[in-house]
Amino acid sequence: MNDSRSLARGWLAKAESDRLAARRLLDSDGPFDAVCFHAQQACEKALKAVLAWAGTDVPRMHNLEELQVVCVKALSEPTASLLKSLDLAELTPYAVETRYDAEFWPDRDTADAAVKRADEVIDHVSVHLNHDPDQDNTKTDNAGDP
């Protein structure tokens, strides 16, 4: 269990690094395709942190919606519902389009929205990873006590 938590923290640190890169590029007016790429990567790595934390194998994929489904299956409520509610569809294509599509040049608004979504995902994942499930078990075990 300790190894999975260490791996999860590593994934989350990489997610934070990509988020920081995206923010710095956005603050310096781009390039906005790189902002979108790093925002997508931040979300992908944050979701992989969730899977590592849960002790689930981390798949080699870039599709955020597919990762989201795997994460939701690995989590309990209310975290599963919270993660399921995040709209990640717009970010998935940025894993490839931003690097290889010569016609894809996002504007500042698109890049800003991508960074905000990365913030949302990382913030939710950070809360989950910092949550102590033993506290819930203790509360449940003592529910009948005065």
Full set of structural domains in the chain with CATH: 2-132 (1.20.120.330)
* 27-71 tens-digit pLDDT: 999 999 999 999 999 999 999 999 999 888 898 989 999 999 898
Average pLDDT, the chain: 85
Q: Pull the structure tokens for residue 63.
A: 């599709």
For residues 66 and 58, give the distance between their C-alpha atoms in angstroms, rounded to a whole number.
12
Q: Find out whether 58 and 4 touch, Cβ atoms under 8 Å.
A: no
What is the value of pTM for the model shown? 0.84
At 130, is the pLDDT very low, low, confident or very high (cuts 50, 70, 90)?
confident
In this predicted structure, the answer to whether residue 107 has a pLDDT above a threshold of 90 is yes
In whole angstroms, how far apart are CA 44 and each of 6, 50, 139?
17, 10, 33
| Of 87, 95, 93, 3, the residue nearest 45 (C-alpha) | 95
Q: How far apart are CA 9 and CA 19, in angstroms?
A: 15
